[in-house]
Structure 1
């Protein structure tokens, strides 16, 4: 009798008030929590329809959640209503709303710049100096490095500026999107001043607090992890090496050869540019670089100033006093940037820059005030597909979070992992979570609190101390951050991947399918030339030099020479 009663009451003990919804769902569904991201990702490649794939991915997740309390039949109804509620909640979130507004507002800004002949003039100016397709790619890479402070700004600004130049040399939109994506998160993730620094430093500090270490300089640890960011460094180098060697492989090679033959993404090259023609400069208008440099330059400058000013408002009293004591020191600037709300700042900068763009057009009598506003609104409309994709991607992310997908994956790790394999295991785990959820930040927040205590425990178990222990900790923290970016690069539901496709004017699935082999190759090089040797005590600088050499060798062996380059 007592045994029967115990079995009956067991669920109430297991799924009591102490368990969060994610923990409860992860315990109930286990591996089934992987269904929503797998559905979204698999269908994206099969159907080539990102919106449909994301919709069904979210719906499968909300069905699993709804089925818990409502049964199978009612679960379908609840699933649909929950999906709609999540989309509303995604749009209502302050951060997400800022991202949507900045995306659409930058679309309006780019329409103004393009209509006034600014992008054409800038492309002509760069084209006079970029005499080959190789130089065009290097210039694009360099521009991506310059816009180091935010990955979203990189994708949204770099695309419209460099697209005409890349088209001139018949560089495929897929390769263009890859260069944008490869110089977005990889450079922002290791920049000393960026919108990422606050997230990374906070994750480090909170994770160390879990092992009872409060008195640490999280920024110093962040800086010391940079040499161990193997994927970031190898990927940035990969872009330059593939451009200089003029070699591509896999789907990217086919995309490049098709582009050289006058096709872009399997379509006629002219058809691929229809979205640009709507905002092509008026006949008789002389293209001027100032029509691009002034508004876009204003956006960059205003963004940097905005990050500082907005960040100051988010600081605590003690931090604010420290910054005010020496407001323009590196530490003060970094502290202010770490507290900034990037989504709001970029929207504000884009809005003000749009006003500058309209005024420039009026001053040069390119269009009247009414037409200028119509052009700006038209630019907003071009971003509606991107907005819808982002809303579904965020809804999928919230569904996966509540379903406990990440909790299930993290629980697969035990403390039995050997020290030499720990960094690799954490890298792979971070990659899987980032790939499944489409978010680098979320992955860092999920895995760092696991990685730091686990690394500290394993390091102590193997008798590490002093500099060896510190280097081991930096290696494992880096494996979280680089794995998050690697998985994000591979994921079709990542917001930066989506924005890179949009910025380059490339079909989203084509961008994902062409970038995926490159990301995997660099990920493998990061594993065998970076994390594994470093785990066995090889000097990090030797690992970096070895990995860069292997990157060149991989491109040489796997790649084929791209012929038909326009000189």
Structure 2
């Protein structure tokens, strides 16, 4: 059954309530319930039971479970390298002993470069950046909202621009389906690689982040956040409750300044190394075919095993204390896990009610070739923002955009780039996106603070990208 314009109600209601009340979980629950209400003949009782059923379904989904398990285990990982003194040792090494990081700009560039280097998986990169750079950002009085923005902005855009990961496999597969159908010709991965320079939202976002880091030309809510932390020292706005506890609230097991950098560096290298190995294993020898989420779970378990042995041998903690901190770290992620479950549930709701196909139907067959890529980008951006999923947007828009481009005689490569750019926009800044949620939590702030400070910057990048798609659409 098609619900037409009513399919827009769940995402719009969730966003409106989130903006008005600043209660993200409540907003997502209302969005889920409204969708079920529409799909169940406006029967509130059936809608309520269907909402609960949806929550159970997303929790039992294997893909979602991998993300939830990884998130929970990363909570333990982060806590353990903090209490072991690993983070303290790393910060002292960079800021005091070797003075590698001497300024605010240096701290932000560190987060930026880490984001560029960890292209294999966005979620792992986000957690990595937060763990490594949060104490340094606090030391130099840089707002946590700024860290969340840098972390988020160097996640999905980088994953898409460096397709040596599951993103590349997924996108080339979607393009390959159109090649197999005879609509276009060429090598799917080759077409994807050709589209990389024209993925304007991704490129513009990375350049924009670098511009802000080097010039300090903040504006809007982000500027207010920067002024707050520099003048008052407040790490976040009054009334904000971070999704993850601050380091100062934990019982560090070594004296201040005595922490060893190796207690963070070695586990991180093991985590990254075994993620690659696991990708090869799960992909049958091919990283591109590997299961990213499962690989990170494997790597995290192996890393935690190493940490238990290493910390015990160093006398930092006993085996029992390690297990206690393991449970404490996992438990500390409960609020984040709940938020992710709700995000998955509203994603399933808008998918079932047909929000994406309805938005796609608005653009199909209604534009000329020259302006096709620009409008594909806009509709993809709206779709991904409404659903909180880039991959879902790719799956819906690629089979529509390529036939449209062929029919309109629009540039195929530019149209592919528009689909990717539009999908990344929502993954980057939608409050229903898992990367947005994880970026705020790992940076020590809350989801609404991250959303309100990041959105103006994301919209500027989207506007520039839209203009570029128009210009290149006219001349390609």
Name the TM-score, length of structure 1 as normaliser. Answer: 0.81
Rounded Cα–Cα distance in structure 2 between residues aligned with 1:258 and 1:406: 39
SS in 2 for 1:248: coil
Q: Does the aligned pair in 2 maintain the 1:229–1:482 contact within 8 Å? A: yes
- Greater Cα offset, 422-431 or 186-195: 186-195
What is the alpha-carbon distance in structure 2 between the residues aligned to residue 270 and residue 408 of structure 1?
37
Please show how residues 135-534 of structure 1 align to structure 2 within 5 Å.
135-213=106-184, 216-261=186-231, 262-267=233-238, 275-284=246-255, 286-312=258-284, 336-459=286-409, 472-528=411-467, 530-534=468-472
SS of the equivalent of 1:267 reads coil
Q: CA deviation at 1:209?
A: 3.1
**In 1, Cα distance between equivalents of 2:33 and 2:242:** 34
CA contact (8 A) 2:385 2:426 kept: yes
SS in structure 2 opposite 1:257? helix
CA distance in 2, matches of 1:78, 1:102: 33
**8 Å Cα contact 2:372-2:415 kept in structure 1:** yes
1:80-113 Cα deviation digits (max 9, x unpaired): 1111111111111111111000000011011111
The structural deviation recorded for 1:207 is 2.7
* Native 8 Å contact 2:243 2:333 kept in 1: no
Counterpart contact for 1:108–1:377, Cα < 8 Å: yes
Provide the secondary structure at the position in 1 that maps to 2:120: coil
Quick one: distance in 2 between partners of 1:58 and 1:138?
39
Tell me the residue number matched to 2:66: 98
C-alpha displacement at 1:272, in angstroms?
10
- Relative to 1, partners in 2 of residues 1:78 and 1:269: Cα closer, same or farther, differing over 3 Å? closer
**Is the CA contact 2:143–2:236 (under 8 Å) kept in the aligned structure 1?**
yes
State the distance in 2 between where 1:447 and 1:289 align. 46
Which residue in 1 is equivalent to 2:474? Answer: 536
Are the counterparts in 1 of residues 137 and 143 from structure 2 also a CA contact under 8 Å?
yes
Asked if the contact 1:124/1:165 (under 8 Å) is kept, the reply is no
Say if 1:145 and 1:407 are closer, same or farther in 2 by CA, change over 3 A.
Answer: same
User: Where does the alignment leave 5 or more consecutive residues of structure 2 unmatched?
Assistant: none
Shift of 1:411: 1.3
Contact 1:308-1:337 at 8 Å conserved across structures: yes
- Displacement of 1:267: 3.5
How has the CA–CA distance of structure 1 residues 439 and 244 changed in structure 2, closer, same or farther, with 3 Å as cutoff?
Answer: same
The CA distance in 2 between the partners of 1:106 and 1:92, in whole Å, is 20
CA contact (8 A) 2:394 2:423 kept: yes
Aligned residue in 2 for 1:545 = none
Scaled by the length of structure 2, the TM-score of the pair is 0.96
Question: Would the alpha carbon gap of residues 272 and 482 (structure 1) be closer, same or farther in structure 2, given more than 3 Å must change?
Answer: closer
Distance (Å, rounded) in 2 between the aligned partners of 1:353 and 1:277: 24
Determine the C-alpha separation between the residues in 2 that align with 1:514 and 1:269: 14
The alignment's C-alpha RMSD in Å is: 1.8
Instruction: Report deviation, 1:375.
Output: 0.6
Aligned residue pairs, count:
471
User: Is the CA contact 1:141–1:179 (under 8 Å) kept in the aligned structure 2?
Assistant: yes
Aligned to 1:17: none
CA separation of 1:422/1:499 partners in 2, compared to 1, >3 Å: closer, same or farther? Answer: same
Name the residue aligned to 2:28.
54
1:88 to 56, 79, 82: 56
Asked if the contact 1:263–1:269 (Cα under 8 Å) also holds between the matched residues in 2, the reply is no
Structure 1 residue 283, shift from structure 2 partner: 4.4
3-state secondary structure, aligned to 1:189 = helix
Q: CA deviation at 1:50?
A: 0.9
Are 1:150 and 1:188, in contact at CA under 8 Å, matched by a contact in 2? Answer: yes
Quick check: 1:431–1:488 contact (8 Å CA) kept in 2?
A: no
Separation in 1, partners of 2:254, 2:165: 41
- Decide whether aligned partners of structure 1 residues 339 and 506 sit closer, same or farther in structure 2, where only a CA change above 3 A counts: same
- Alpha-carbon separation, structure 1, partners of 2:173 and 2:133: 35
Which region of structure 1 is more displaced relative to structure 2, 274-283 or 498-507?
274-283
Q: Distance in 1 between matches of 2:118 and 2:52?
A: 36
Q: Distance in 1 between matches of 2:311 and 2:116?
A: 30
Which residue of the partner structure matches residue 125 of structure 1? 93
What do residues 122-150 of structure 1 show as CA deviations (whole Å, max 9, x unaligned)? 11222221111011101110011111111
- Structure 1 168/420 Cα, relative in aligned 2: closer, same or farther at 3 Å? same
Q: In 1, Cα distance between the equivalents of 2:428 and 2:73?
A: 25
Maintained 8 Å contact 1:448/1:477: yes
Structure 1: tracts of 5 or more residues without a match = 1-23, 313-322, 324-335, 460-468, 539-567
Post-superposition shift, 1:489? 2.0
